[in-house]
Amino acid sequence: MKKRLTISDIARLAGVGTTTVSRVLNQDPKVKPETRHRIEQIIAEAGYAPSPSARAMRTRRQQVVGIIVSRLDSASEHQAVRAMLPVLEQAGYEVLLMESGFSSAKVAEHLDWLRQRQADGAILFAFTGLALDGQADWQDKLVVMARRYPGFSSVCYDDKGAIGLMLEHLWRQGVRRPAYVGVERQDSTTGRQRLEAYLDFCQARGISPGYRLGGLSYHAGQEGARLLLAERPDTDALVCASDTLALGAAKHLQQSGKALPLTGVGNNELLRFLFPAVASVDLGYPQAGTAAARQLLAQIEQGRAVAELALPCRLVAAD
């Protein structure tokens, strides 16, 4: 009776390691074509077929990556995730998508679930108040989005630069009394950092600042614009901390019949479609997603060191 070949036998006959044979069996695109052909030829001649359970165990242990978003309906996170998926999937990884709901406890629960299933790594969308205590074993296989955490890789947006870029653009257009619709300071990026950029600009230009802070919703943008324009009737432009707020502010301007330059941050498709005259700043959400996926793959496959990546922003002028 002819002995069935094992992965070790195939590796020996092909002159490669067992890891290379496993990658061919799992259709890893990184294997050289000539090596793949040689291994596949030996497999075909031997009639080798791994058991379904063995294949499932390898996949679960070696080729799984988790993506933990803060909320599934986030437009910015959606753009980043769409860019991550092809990079991870083309590298042969199964992607598991989870939602934290802005809960540190939920993040810890998701990371524990991935740990138990021996996932290779994870990408985590951070939020204000997120704690990563007790997650030291994830340091070499986790990339955090939008926040910096000591010991972990991160991909961050230029929050202060985005507001500064837009204010400089408005200043060149002759705007001298811009008001700001923002987010509460407890939010360290969209809130505090973007507000600081506005206040720094006003101080440098000798402008009296005017701003309203609230939530992240359309209604918050609409109400913030209403209150600001009532308080400061000489306001000659509204600068919003996000495109969501800008949508609400645009609704108020439309209803009140006022025409003012209005800006946002995020380069949101809905804002461009409904209010093409509104300028925005593109923070690079898809580019951030690609960068995060590549950094994670480099860490788990090549042993690349932890890194902090900062993406540049760009102005998207009104049509």
Look at strands 314-316 and 280-282 and give their pairing. Answer: antiparallel
Q: What is the pLDDT of residue 21?
A: 80
Structure tokens at 273: 């479609």
Q: Which residues contact 297 (CB under 8 A, 6 or more apart)?
A: 87, 88, 91
Q: How many Å is the maximal CA-CA distance in the chain?
A: 93
Domain 63-157+285-311 in CATH 3.30.160.270? The answer is no
Q: What is the pLDDT of residue 53?
A: 42
Q: Superfamily assignment of 7-50 in CATH?
A: lambda repressor-like DNA-binding domains (1.10.260.40)
Q: Is the dihedral of CA 52, 57, 60, 61 positive or negative?
A: negative
Q: What is the pLDDT of residue 50?
A: 58
What is the domain partition of the chain in residue ranges? 7-50, 63-157+285-311, 159-282
Provide block-wise average pLDDT over 10 residues at a time, the chain (319 residues). Answer: 66 81 76 86 74 46 86 90 95 94 95 93 95 92 95 96 96 97 94 97 97 96 97 97 96 95 94 93 96 96 94 85
- For tokens 């690079």, the residue is 284
What φ, ψ does residue 37 adopt, rounded to 5°? Answer: -60, -45
* Domain 7-50 identical in fold to domain 63-157+285-311: no
Q: What is the pLDDT of residue 4?
A: 59
Q: What is the pLDDT of residue 17?
A: 78
Q: Superfamily assignment of 159-282 in CATH?
A: Response regulator (3.40.50.2300)
Q: What is the pLDDT of residue 119?
A: 93
**Model pLDDT for residues 141-170, shown as the tens digit of each residue:** 999 999 999 999 999 999 999 999 999 999
- Rounded Cα–Cα distance for residues 218 and 33 (Å): 52
Structure tokens at 114: 């991935």
Distances (CA, A) of 187 to 58, 74, 132, 191: 41, 16, 17, 5
Which 3 state secondary structure label does DSSP give 271? helix
Is the separation of the CB atoms in 201 and 167 below 8 Å?
Answer: yes
DSSP annotation of 133: T
Distances (CA, A) of 315 to 61, 166, 241, 318: 43, 7, 14, 9
Q: Which residues contact 200 (CB under 8 A, 6 or more apart)?
A: 160, 164
Q: What is the pLDDT of residue 130?
A: 94
